[in-house]
Structure 1
Amino acid sequence: MSETTQQTAKILIEALPYIQRFHGKTIVIKYGGNAMIDEALKESFARDVVMMKAVGMNPVVVHGGGPQISGTLERVGKTTEFVDGLRVTDAETMDVVEMVLGGLVNKDIVRLINAQGGKAVGLSGKDGDMIRARKISSGKPDVDYGHVGEVDSISTSLVETLEAERFIPVIAPIGAGSDGATYNINADSVAGALASKLQAEKLVLMTNTVGVLDKEGKLLTGLSATQIAGLKADGTIQGGMLPKVDCALDAVLCGVKTSHIIDGRVDHALLLEVLTDKGVGTLIRG
């Protein structure tokens, strides 16, 4: 038997206990970054999701689309303004955001998953009144973010129905407010809220970084709430990683078994994190 064949067998045996442990369990995946721009990584992601479903897991995909939104706004001659990292979203911009997220990006992900043999269904958070949003306040009298929201409440009945019928939900992070307006919501926040409400086995946040690093650049994993508090206090966790870690930790504290921040630039990152001993990112536990 060749060395390559032996390695393949070893990988399959390593995956077996994880397949058994997570059979029938829900795994919420925030899909973003390079993984949804690079064509090879897009196909890799779709295969991973279909594989997870095929072995009995219930993947639920929540996606972003910032670069695609910016590109479309630029093509139509619409200037984008960011304040404190948030895109100021007037009514006209919101129309473009909804078209790109709920239409172009969402349906492309559905197409990719279905092309690999899956049964994906594309949704907006407005479908089935799934996501109720509330407007984010800047706290500054001269700054109005417009149609930028956060999750007010979330219903999982539609997702659970699709799971029961062996479909893979693919969700655009758009919600409706009590004022009847449509709001764009951070995809990490939607994924975290959905994972918490579903009491998911895992929340996986795909990023353009390898995970949480210590001050020497070494990957940290198996982090608890106490360890995270210390890493934030000494400045190890800072900048753009802070909201991702907070989202991941909040989900765990709300009943999700584990959260993962993984490098979406790695081919088959999702399967490597879920089905192997070593993984490819940072695991956060309660």
Structure 2
Amino acid sequence: MNQVPITEDERQSEDRSWATARTLAEALPYIQVYDRQTVVIKYGGHAMGDEAVAKQFAADVVLLKLMGVNPVVVHGGGPQISAMLDRAGVKSEFVDGLRVTDAATMQIAEMVLSGAVNKEIANWITEAGKQADVRGVGLSGKDAGLLTVEKTRRTRRDPDSMIEHEVDLGFVGEPTRVDPKLIRGLIASESEDWVPVIAPIGVAEDGKTYNVNADTVAGAVAGSLQAKRMLLLTDVKGVLDKDGQVIRQMTVAEAEQLIADGVATGGMIPKLETAMAAVKAGVEAVVILDGRRSHAMLVELFTEHGAGTLVKA
């Protein structure tokens, strides 16, 4: 009996099938580690700039939910706010990386973050999870008293007189309290598979609304939930050493030393500070990784070597 030869395409397809099976088998121990555990994901403004990458992110979040993980997404939106401010003819000023936020800027920031960006991410997750009935639900820190904040205080030293002056950042806040009851209720729901998507807007005790750094909100939320992991998705591979190589793992003490030695600089400093604060608040570990890379979260959580820099106690 003559056998029909296997084509090259068929052989490659069969090889991919076996590779997929091996990957799933290798991931099993890690899937068990994260079963029913909470993972807070900070989704950065630059990481979500590309729609195709954003939709892949949403699909990966759905996959996490289907694998038994409880993902909670906290998002930024700095580039989107800047674009809207430009269109409105409102000029922005930054102090130490924080946007000075007057009343007009605050209005636009809330509209962009709690509106367009928040609902778009929630919708991407809902669309990606349509077949499995996984749904993204958009929230802000103003919902159900989720995020209470206070006005951020910053000082700047005058280079001539060396006297420190307080800088008024306007409606920029810092978390003082997170009430996680709403998030826990959504996670615990047995009737629906909800994925909370949180915009970094909070309310002070006097009822005023404040814009909050999304990294800081993610850390505060992760601490309040005692999350297994917090993933800081950004536009860099991780924390680099003095030779430019990614550091795979470090302790809080080692992170503090990196900052003190000037190895960690610029925007990496506040990310490390957020990671350290989250770990000190009870998060098992925080990972800084490149959110632009396809399936970065899955590689980090379900493979041996991970995908970024892990910071632990």
2:48 is the counterpart of 1:21:
no
Q: Tell me how far apart the structure 2 counterparts of residues 145 and 137 of structure 1 sit (CA, whole Å).
A: 8
Match of 1:164 among 188, 202, 218: 188
1:33-89 Cα deviation digits (max 9, x unpaired): 432111111011001100000111100000000000000011111111112221111
The letter for the 2-side match of 1:137 is R
Instruction: Give the TM-score, by structure 1 length.
Output: 0.97
Aligned length in residues: 286
- Tell me the equivalent position of 1:238: 265
Counterparts of 1:66-85 in structure 2, within 5 Å, are 66-85=78-97
2:203 is the counterpart of 1:191:
no
- Tell me the equivalent position of 1:210: 237
Displacement of 1:10: 1.6
Q: Which stretch shows the higher mean deviation, 156-165 or 224-233?
A: 224-233
Match of 1:258 among 257, 267, 285: 285
Displacement of 1:234: 2.2
Gap runs ≥5 in structure 2: 1-10, 157-164
Q: Is the 8 A contact 2:46 2:79 kept in 1?
A: no
- Tell me the equivalent position of 2:174: 150
Displacement of 1:139: 2.8
Q: Tell me how far apart the structure 2 counterparts of residues 200 and 249 of structure 1 sit (CA, whole Å).
A: 14
Displacement of 1:268: 1.3
The letter for the 2-side match of 1:171 is I
Q: Is the 8 A contact 1:214 1:220 kept in 2?
A: yes
Displacement of 1:142: 6.5
SS state at 1:36 partner: coil
- Tell me the equivalent position of 2:76: 64
1:203-247 Cα deviation digits (max 9, x unpaired): 110011000111111110221123223322322112211110111
Q: Tell me how far apart the structure 1 counterparts of residues 86 and 261 of structure 2 sit (CA, whole Å).
A: 40
The CA RMSD measured in Å over matched residues stands at: 1.3
Counterparts of 1:40-55 in structure 2, within 5 Å, are 40-55=52-67
Instruction: Give the TM-score, by structure 2 length.
Output: 0.88
- Tell me the equivalent position of 1:228: 255
Q: Which stretch shows the higher mean deviation, 101-110 or 143-152?
A: 143-152
- Tell me the equivalent position of 2:3: none
Match of 2:50 among 11, 18, 38: 38
The letter for the 2-side match of 1:153 is R
The letter for the 2-side match of 1:52 is L
Counterparts of 1:100-119 in structure 2, within 5 Å, are 100-117=112-129, 118-119=134-135
Specify the structure having the higher radius of gyration (Cα): 2
Q: Tell me how far apart the structure 2 counterparts of residues 218 and 84 of structure 1 sit (CA, whole Å).
A: 26
SS state at 2:250 partner: coil
1:105-160 Cα deviation digits (max 9, x unpaired): 00000110000112111001000011001001223657311100000111000000
SS state at 2:119 partner: helix
The letter for the 2-side match of 1:241 is M
The letter for the 2-side match of 1:109 is I
Q: Tell me how far apart the structure 2 counterparts of residues 127 and 72 of structure 1 sit (CA, whole Å).
A: 24
Q: Tell me how far apart the structure 2 counterparts of residues 72 and 230 of structure 1 sit (CA, whole Å).
A: 39
Q: Tell me how far apart the structure 2 counterparts of residues 216 and 26 of structure 1 sit (CA, whole Å).
A: 34
Gap runs ≥5 in structure 1: none
Q: Which stretch shows the higher mean deviation, 147-156 or 242-251?
A: 242-251
Aligned-pair identity in percent equals 50
The letter for the 1-side match of 2:305 is K
Q: Is the 8 A contact 2:238 2:247 kept in 1?
A: yes
The letter for the 1-side match of 2:108 is V
SS state at 1:98 partner: helix
Classify 1:88/1:233 alpha carbon distance in 2 versus 1 (closer, same or farther; 3 Å).
closer
Displacement of 1:249: 1.6
Q: Tell me how far apart the structure 2 counterparts of residues 92 and 86 of structure 1 sit (CA, whole Å).
A: 16
- Tell me the equivalent position of 1:129: 145
